[in-house]
């Protein structure tokens, strides 16, 4: 589990073909690696990946072709949001996330509002139905509050700190972003389907 509070902005240093997918080498750029072990989970722009090798400056993870086809942002040289898995003693500053991306959305607007930025994203209809005003959504692994919803589009406000501490500052219209909807919305829908 994750919270959507980004710990560091890493960079994908290498993308090496591997059986069934690729192997990534990710520079941690300040992500503390002293408590990381083989098999740990680290969210990379919202995607839960398993650490298969690491050192003091970063880690490696394998990504299947199925995952590569469903997510955005795993090109060599790309900046990525990093968060280690939640420990039971940690503060829950964002919202509970699994790191299982539901799909990708497309940035339709990214405009200044004072020191902040207004970000409007169009989501696939299958995902948009779970996004509610004042609810939570993860965009590239960042926990955000939804300010408005209109059809398949939703709007969030990015404060100056979020812009500085995440890769979201680099977004432009047309960019693809990884989306994970709130866990509760999916469970509520499932309960309603089975209610007799």
Q: In the chain, pLDDT over 90 holds for what percent of residues?
A: 87
In a domain, 95, yes or no: no
Do 76 and 154 share a structural domain? Answer: no
pLDDT (0 to 100) of residue 196: 59
- The rounded distance, in Å, linking the Cα atoms of 72 and 124 is 14
Mean pLDDT of 67-91: 92
Mean pLDDT, the chain, whole residue set? 94
- Check whether 8 has a pLDDT greater than 70: yes
Task: Identify the CATH number of the domain in which residue 34 sits.
Answer: 2.40.30.20
In a domain, 133, yes or no: yes
Task: Tally the domains of the chain.
Answer: 2
Mean pLDDT of 172-184: 94
Domain boundary among 32, 56, 84: 84
Q: What is the pLDDT of residues 112-129, one digit of tens each?
A: 999 999 999 999 999 999
Domain boundary among 84, 119, 148: 84
Provide the strand spans (E) within 31-172: 41-44, 47-55, 58-64, 79-84, 103-113, 116-122, 136-139, 142-150, 153-158
DSSP state of 119: E
- pTM, two decimals, is 0.94
Domain boundary among 20, 51, 84: 84
Q: What is the pLDDT of residues 99-114, one digit of tens each?
A: 999 999 999 999 999 9
In a domain, 2, yes or no: no
DSSP state of 166: S
- The rounded distance, in Å, linking the Cα atoms of 124 and 129 is 9
Q: What is the pLDDT of residues 9-33, one digit of tens each?
A: 999 999 999 999 999 999 999 999 9
Two tokens, residue 162 = 């979020």
Residue 181 belongs to what domain range? Answer: 103-194
- Check whether 64 has a pLDDT greater than 70: yes
pLDDT (0 to 100) of residue 164: 96
Do 110 and 77 share a structural domain? Answer: no
Q: Which residue has the higher pLDDT, 92 or 168?
A: 168
């Amino acid at each position: 589990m994750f919270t959507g509070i980004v710990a560091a902005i890493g960079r994908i240093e290498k993308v090496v073909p591997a059986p069934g997918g690729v192997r990534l080498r990710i520079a941690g750029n300040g992500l503390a690696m002293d408590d990381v072990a083989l098999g740990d989970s680290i969210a990379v722009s919202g995607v839960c990946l398993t650490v298969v090798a690491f050192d003091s400056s970063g880690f490696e993870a394998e990504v299947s072709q199925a995952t590569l086809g469903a997510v955005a942002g795993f090109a060599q040289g790309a900046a990525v949001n990093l968060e280690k898995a939640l420990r039971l003693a940690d503060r829950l500053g964002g919202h509970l996330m699994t790191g299982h991306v539901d799909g990708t959305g497309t940035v339709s607007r990214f405009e200044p509002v004072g020191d902040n930025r207004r970000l409007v994203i169009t989501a696939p209809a299958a995902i948009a139905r779970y996004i509610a005003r004042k609810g939570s959504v993860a965009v590239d692994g960042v926990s955000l509050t939804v300010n408005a919803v209109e059809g398949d589009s939703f709007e969030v406000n990015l404060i100056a700190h979020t812009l500085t501490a995440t890769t979201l500052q680099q977004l432009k219209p047309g960019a693809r972003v990884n989306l994970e909807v709130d866990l509760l919305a999916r469970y509520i829908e499932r309960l309603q389907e089975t209610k007799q």
